[in-house]
Structure 1
Amino acid sequence: MGDWLRVLSALLLCLHGTTAAVTLTQPSSISSSPGNTVKITCTMSGGSIGSSYTSWYQQKPDGAPVLLWSSSYGKPQGIPDRFSGSVDSGSNAVHLTISGVQAEDAADYSCGARDGSSPYHFFFGKGSELSLKRK
């Protein structure tokens, strides 16, 4: 997870003055071959994914995090069509799908969730590092 996520999480927890009960769990690493479809799952425990605002971020080494998708706004302009997000209330998870993964997609992907009842309850997964195999 990028340092900015740790700092933001700590700051928001200090502002609220409580210990987080919500946990977002995602795989630490994923490997794929170019052209394949990759699906990263982020599962919430201690809360309801259906009542949270969820999001996915991409961060490359030495780069700023980029918002790829949010349950509130969908995909920002400029994000390639191969990226899509979805919420699965049945499994209390949020998914990021990358269709036709490309070498440039090798990066760290982190999920985020904000409690729908409070702007100060924001949680992040620890990040999933996507690496691409050579053909």
Structure 2
Amino acid sequence: MICRAELHVTDCVCLHMCPLLHVFVCVRGQITVTQPAAVRADLGGSATISCRTSQNIYSNYLAWYQQKDGQTPKLLIYTTSTRESGTPSRFTGSGSNSDFTLTISGVQAEDDAGVYYCQQRNSFPLTQ
């Protein structure tokens, strides 16, 4: 199962995420990851993408990725809140237990057309 958040810039930024019904196709016992239907933010404003896991996970096992069209996924945040080298400071991760958040402060045009994934690394299979 892949939950994703797509960023598209027009007059504002729209973040579209996976429908909740995808949760029901997951294998029993597997940790599922759920993101809300949509989040919006103006250019220069803030965007908050939530990520909820079906079980509590250790904070050091939650990561956020960004994938742009035609590119491989890029690690932004690991251990819930640690920025990967090269990740701009406008990207902030937070959360614990089963509720996690990626916040983009001062959304920029270069964030456009990105797909944002949260991934739990607490147990196999890894799920996004």
Q: When the two structures are superposed, what TM-score results if normalisation uses the length of structure 2?
A: 0.69
Which structure shows the higher helix fraction?
1
* Percent of residue pairs bearing the same amino acid type: 38
Contact (CA 8 Å) 1:39, 1:95: kept in 2 or not? yes
* Amino acid across the alignment from 2:30: A
Residue 75 of structure 2 is matched in structure 1 by 67
Determine which of 112, 115, 120 is the counterpart of 1:113. Answer: 120
- Which 5+ residue runs of structure 1 have no aligned equivalent? 3-17, 125-135
* Amino acid across the alignment from 1:49: I
- Which 5+ residue runs of structure 2 have no aligned equivalent? 4-26
Q: Report how many residues are paired.
A: 103
Q: Which structure has the larger Rg?
A: 1
1:51-62 alignment, distance < 5 Å:
53-62=61-70
Residue 11 of structure 2 is matched in structure 1 by none
More deviation in 92-101 or 27-36? Answer: 27-36
1:33 deviates by: 1.3
1:32 deviates by: 2.0
Q: Which has the higher contact order (CA 8 A, sep 6+)?
A: 1
Determine which of 95, 102, 126 is the counterpart of 2:101. Answer: 95
Quote the Cα distance in structure 1 between the aligned partners of 2:86 and 2:92: 13
